[in-house]
Amino acid sequence: MEVTDIETAVLGSAVDAASLPAQVGARELEISSVVVRIHTDEGITGLGESFYRSEENNHFLAESIEAMGRHVIGKDPRDIKAIWHELYLHVKRAGAYGALSAIDEALWDIAGKNAGLPVYQLLGGQTSEVNAYATFPADKTADELTEYAEWLSAKGFEAMKIGAGFGIEEDRNRIKTIMDEIPDDFGLAIDANTSYNVTDARAVAETGSEYEIEWFEEPIAHTDIQGQAELNKSVEVPISGYQTHTPHYPALDHLKANALDIYQPSLDYVGGITGATRVASLVEAFNKEMVPHALGPAINYAASLHVAAASRQCELIEFAVLDDDVDDPGRYIAGPYVENQDAITCRMVDESIHRVNRASA
């Protein structure tokens, strides 16, 4: 089998831009993406996907994928590891991790279709049930978020993640207000998007520890491994991160330093399925947790589900609820290019793992 052609398509977002509030400045996130199709001489086409934070930037990503794709033409797409490492030699200098990730996902899709098996079985099979927590990146007050927490809990989510980084007192107040009112079996996590220094992050984390929130995500600069380790050692709330890192190699430095309790690789950036499964193996060796960062479009989300299912340290995955004006927040909102988007819901994660490989562009 040989790769004969690679093509890309920039897709518009199926939902309005989401607001990601933080002390570093509010950011708008568009769930636009680039789909890559890798064609073979045996008629099998693999799909992969990555995305930047705007449709405009995704046109540059598409050009990057096409440039990297030239190195794949004529190769056997089943030689995934060899192709990954060849591309990595280029990527580590050019920084084109989104391109590497999308191509890798498409190669795994080809492998699954060629074998007639879902990808998670090629990765070793399902190891546990994977449940969902809701990321709710909406600019709401603490009282409003309390109401939404009840809504999300009733729809089957285990927890809700909200933005942080509004300042120490505001974040503390939001934690207290929400945790005092939400259902007992429903959790709260916060994400500061690297807004704080160690001292201020510790002040927020102490309140998070007192109220036993699920985790404190990216409290400080993701490059400050020593600061993360210091924070992780001094507070009870688990410190999480790694979605901003590429590929799996930096995970070893974090693990040796005990910098994080929860690792959140993002498949669209960490090097696709190959990169994420390697993070999972390292995390397992150090007995930490993995919760894939999956705030993104449907094909990439499907790939994330397969990795989650095959990872022993993973029992939870992110599910973005980008619209608060829907009847069912657990229904995946995708564009018409996905034939079976109803298969991906927060209450059907296990079955969707068997079905997402039928999503097509």
Q: Which residues are catalytic?
A: 293
Indicate the helix (H) or strand (E) that contains 319: strand 316-320
Nearest residue to 14 via CA among 297, 305, 356, 294? 297
The DSSP code sequence of 257-309 is HT--SEE---TTTTTHHHHHHHHHHHHHHTT-EE-----S-HHHHHHHHHHHH
State how far the Cα of 199 lies from the Cα of 41, in Å rounded to an integer.
58
Contacts of residue 240, Cβ cutoff 8 Å, sequence gap at least 6: 189, 215, 216, 217, 218, 260, 261, 262, 263, 264, 291
**The pairing of beta strand 289-290 with beta strand 262-263:** parallel
Token code pair at residue 72? 């794949």
Q: How many CA atoms lie within 13 A of 349 on its CB side?
A: 28
Cα–chain center distance at 226: 24
Nearest residue to 344 via CA among 314, 301, 315? 301
Contacts of residue 74, Cβ cutoff 8 Å, sequence gap at least 6: 2, 3
State how far the Cα of 32 lies from the Cα of 86, in Å rounded to an integer.
28
